[in-house]
Amino acid sequence: MAKEQNELLNKGKVDIDRDILLSIINLAAKEISGVDSLTNNYLPWIKRAMKPKSEGVSIKFVNNNTINVDIYLIVKIGYSVPDVAYRVQENVKNSLSSMVGLTPNKINVHVYGVSVDKDEVQGV
């Protein structure tokens, strides 16, 4: 299997757009139960207006085949924050590996808050 992959890599070059990586990471994070949303609150307001596609995700390329990923999210109330963060890390790692063949060097999950259901607040 590894020999076949090396032969494919030697036949040409594959470029993957940064927006594709952002979309894959964004969708992989939102698939996890307990994730309410991703947030750009870590950015200054001017950058939030200029970078709508990066919704809650920041990536940095370490070398040709590895990246560092930062994910900023809001967790639903009633879910274990460490458990949700771990499952997000695993799902992002598996998605990047299977879809585009990238190995993430680091996947940092930053929890920016906990969301409360409006129905629960009104019922109290």
Answer whether residue 68 is part of any domain.
Answer: yes
pTM greater than 0.85 (yes/no) = no
Answer whether residue 28 is part of any domain.
Answer: yes
> Mind listing the pLDDT tens digit of every residue in the chain (124 residues)?
455 555 555 677 777 888 889 999 999 999 999 999 888 766 655 655 665 556 888 899 888 678 999 999 999 999 999 999 999 999 999 999 999 888 899 999 999 889 887 665 555 5
The CATH number for 119's domain is 3.30.70.1350
Answer whether residue 10 is part of any domain.
Answer: no
Residues paired with residue 73 on neighbouring β-strands, in sequence order: 38, 111
**Axis crossing angle, helix 18-30 with helix 81-100, rounded to the nearest 10:** 140
| C-alpha span between 96 and 58 (Å, rounded) | 14
Answer whether residue 3 is part of any domain.
Answer: no
Answer whether residue 2 is part of any domain.
Answer: no
Answer whether residue 79 is part of any domain.
Answer: yes
CB 103 within 8 A of CB 97: yes
- Residue 71: which domain range? 16-123
Single-letter residue type at 48: R
Answer whether residue 59 is part of any domain.
Answer: yes
Number of structural domains, the chain? 1
Answer whether residue 92 is part of any domain.
Answer: yes
